[in-house]
Amino acid sequence: MKHFFTKSVLCVRKPHALSCVLFLCLVLMLNISKAQNPLASAQDFNIFTEGNLTINAGDIEGAIAVGGNLVIQGNCNRTSSNATGKQSYVTIGGIKYAVLVGGGLSGVNGGKLFTIDGKAGATDDHFVRFNTLSGSTTITNSGGIDIGSPATNNLNRYIRINSTSQATSTIENTASLINFAAAFADFRSKSNAMGLKVGNVTPTVSGGQATLNLGNNTNNVWNISGTTLNSYNQINLTGILPSATNPLVINVNATGTYNWSNLKFIIAGESDNFIEVNRAPYIIWNFYNNISALNILNSNLLIGSILAPDANITNNGSGNITGQVIARTYTKPWAGELHIAKFSANISLGVLAAQEINIAPVLNNNIVTVNWQTINENNTSYFEVERSYNNNSFETIYRAYTFVANGGNGTYHFNDNTFANTSNTLFYRIKMVDQNGRATYSKTATVKIAQQTQITVWPNPFVSTVSFTYTALQTSALNVRLLDVSGKQIKTGQYTVSKGTNSLSFTDIPASIAPGLYLLEITNVNDSQKQILRLMK
């Protein structure tokens, strides 16, 4: 299924109302496949969580992205050296990052330490960044950086960054480098899309071993229930082995809490190291069916990336995982390592998320109107409009059931007049649910709500001075002009205002000007917002 997706936004300031409309067009064309990497939104991060990453022991090789908090509960490491010889950082804005945390840092007392390689080689710096380090401090120490609460006390030191030239002032920075909400909307959409693929791999089972004889398919797809998967004790791969042109997708149908007895992989007599380097980048385990908790039980080497965007993963085994891990949260209580094997193949997806958002003006007074159109609907159950004020937590504000038969076209809309006027930005997305309960998300559309600045002017009538209060949303520059009714400029002034209410005066107005009607024009240089007030002299 292919989606085309457009939106338009227009905000107009009026004295007593804000006119703002979102026009969101979602065009669904079913049964048209497009090949793409389902983990592209993870970039080169080896582990990518929507929420917290909790570490007790073991090593993580490669780059780490945490949407929530990094929680340190034991001695562990992030290392740049790795078993597969792959890239151990992610470059964003020209800077190589080892760890990016969208939340904060917490830990336990007792000197439990997460050690991070700040370099790979003599000069290759790998930086670390948190959105906030509230409650923690950073200090330079022996060529590196210590972070803790406080960092000067070894019993409260949580992180040690070895051998880095990074300045402590850059560790904490609220500027966003990753849009975790958008990434996980994409992961969920791609996971559901892969879950719809028709299987073309049937195992031969003998003595508890499942042998997959892989064909020369663009995508080899093995669809299996979680219960059946746990009934095997080994998986053997034969035939056309996983590669960039013949990747293996393993769709695991499990719901709720799934205890995974991960199995040993045997691939045509190849060594574990050879498999990690040459096969793992082309194998993906897809837990697509609303699984909420994924508990990895055994300590076998786990080959392939794990896509479980709705799951809280706990790795209770001490074996290594070679592949990218995508999870709601990830807890690592035992030793064992995460090895680098970026998923490096394209999958033909039967259902795709929206691909484009284009802006075009539509006007409606104080209402956000969401419209979407469907073409060639097939197996659709209903649509939900979801709204967020922070692009992270979305709420369902409307549900529309499909009213067309398979192959038909439909037009839907919803008027939202319940949003909070205190928000500067609104985020909307469409959730499409099929007859099997599987959901696909559109990309997120953004609506900028330009709030009217509050201005009070006195005295009115005036003599030689006009005073006014200006309530600013942020620090801004103002240009102020006094005009007569013909537009002739009488006096100008420039001011800088801070966030909040500012008291200002426009003085030394020429006494020679005639009595009558005048206009006070106030322009915010930052956002070009212009307001005109009438005054009498």
Lowest mean pLDDT among 16-20, 516-520, 521-525: 16-20
Q: What CATH number should be reported for the domain holding residue 477?
A: 2.60.40.1930
Q: What CATH number should be reported for the domain holding residue 365?
A: 2.60.40.10
Q: How far apart are CA 242 and CA 219, in angstroms?
A: 9
H/E run at residue 321: strand 321-322
Q: Determine contact, residues 150/156, Cβ cutoff 8 Å.
A: yes
pLDDT at 30: 36
Residue that terminates a domain, selected from 331, 349, 367: 349
Residue that terminates a domain, selected from 314, 349, 384: 349
The string of DSSP codes covering 249-303 is: EEEEE--EEEEE-PPEEEETT--HHHHHHHTGGGEEEEE-S-EEEEEE---SPEE
Q: Are residues 246 and 320 in the same domain?
A: yes
* Mean of all residue pLDDT scores within the chain: 83
Q: Are residues 370 and 289 in the same domain?
A: no
> Residue 407: which domain range?
2-31+351-448
Residue 184: pLDDT band with limits 50, 70, 90? very high
Helix H, strand E, coil C: the string for 55-111 is ECCCEEECEEEECCCEEECCCEEEECCCCCCCCCCEEECCEEEEEEECCCEEECCCC
Q: Are residues 59 and 81 in the same domain?
A: yes
Q: Is 184 helix (H, G, I), strand (E, B) or coil?
A: helix
Q: Are residues 14 and 161 in the same domain?
A: no
> Which among 290, 288, 285, 265 has a CA at the least distance from the CA of 275?
265
Q: How far apart are CA 342 and CA 43, in angstroms?
A: 9
Q: Are residues 88 and 163 in the same domain?
A: yes
Q: Are residues 71 and 108 in the same domain?
A: yes
Q: Are residues 90 and 144 in the same domain?
A: yes
Q: Are residues 119 and 178 in the same domain?
A: yes
Tell me: pLDDT of 139 over 60: yes
Number of domains in the chain: 3
Q: How far is CA 201 from CA 2, 38, 65, 312, in A?
A: 25, 20, 33, 28
Q: How many CB atoms neighbour CB 172 within 10 A?
A: 19
Residue that terminates a domain, selected from 349, 376, 402: 349
Q: Are residues 318 and 464 in the same domain?
A: no
Following CA atoms 167, 168, 174, 180 in sequence, which dihedral angle do they give, to the nearest 10 degrees?
A: 80
Q: Determine contact, residues 475/46, Cβ cutoff 8 Å.
A: no
Q: Are residues 247 and 332 in the same domain?
A: yes
The percentage of residues in the chain with a pLDDT greater than 70, rounded to a whole number, is: 85
Q: How far apart are CA 124 and CA 145, in angstroms?
A: 16
Q: Are residues 312 and 256 in the same domain?
A: yes
pTM of the model: 0.66
pLDDT at 9: 31
